[in-house]
Amino acid sequence: MTALVCEPIGREVFAPFGEVMTIEGAELRMINGGTTERFHALATADTETEDGRTIVSLFRGQPRRFPYRVGMMERHPLGSQAFFPVTGGDWIAVVAGDESGRPGAPRAFVVPGNVGLQYGRNVWHHPLIAVGRVSDFLVVDREGPGNNLEEADYPAPYILTAP
């Protein structure tokens, strides 16, 4: 079993896997007579492949127990998937590149509770990893025809320790 160490999240380091959604560096638009700050277009959903449509859901994640065995990954061939924390609190994202149709070695990122991520379409990732407490996330992803879930097991699990 291989140790999986969390790295700090950042736009550049996460760029091969998708977008980091944070107000830092976002386009700020003052609206509503100056009473509201609009941090515009943190990401663009990619859901229209094969007549898909964008939906918004709420995921309530149970905290994972650590050390946590990352034994599988999944991806959504037809659409992106974005998670934005509602409850707050750090969470963990695990992603991987593709190697001949299977996930490569994973990379784990600790994500602050006020930062969201969008996984690009067909990007390998582990299902939601909530940390420390039951955590709610707003999720923007695809609904529509076709199979939008592909899963793959690792030959041996990676062991993720608590951040």
67 prior amide bond cis, ω within 30: yes
Q: Considering only 24-32, 37-45, 95-103, 122-130, which stretch makes contact with ligand UGC by CB under 6 A?
A: 122-130
Cβ closest to Ni ion, residue 22 vs residue 81? 81
Which residues, 6 or more positions from 67, have their beta carbon under 8 angstroms from its beta carbon? 159, 160, 161, 162
Provide the phi-psi class of 146: left if phi over 0, else alpha when psi is between -120 and 50, else beta.
left
68-to-65, 90, 105, 159, 161 alpha-carbon distances in Å: 6, 16, 16, 6, 6
Q: Minimum Å distance from CB 91 to ligand UGC?
A: 11
- Contact region with ligand UGC (CB under 6 A), list: 3-11, 14-22, 65-73, 125-133: 125-133
Q: How far is the CB of 126 from ligand UGC (least distance, A)?
A: 7
Q: Which stretch binds Ni ion (CB under 5 A): 2-10, 14-22, 62-70, 78-86?
A: 78-86
Residue 128 engages ligand UGC in binding (rule: CB under 6 A): yes
Cβ distance 20 to 10 under 8 Å?
yes
Interaction partner, residue 150 (Ni ion, ligand UGC, none; CB < 5-8 Å by kind):
none
Under 8 Å CB-to-CB from 32, ≥6 apart: which residues? none
Tell me the per-residue interface mask from 30 to 69 with ligand UGC, x by CB under 6 A, - otherwise.
----------------------------------------
Q: Does 81 bind ligand UGC (CB under 6 A)?
A: yes
Residue 127 in contact with ligand UGC, rule: CB under 6 A: yes
> What's the number of CA atoms in the CB half-sphere (13 Å) around residue 122?
7
Residues that bind ligand UGC (CB under 6 A): 74, 81, 125, 127-128
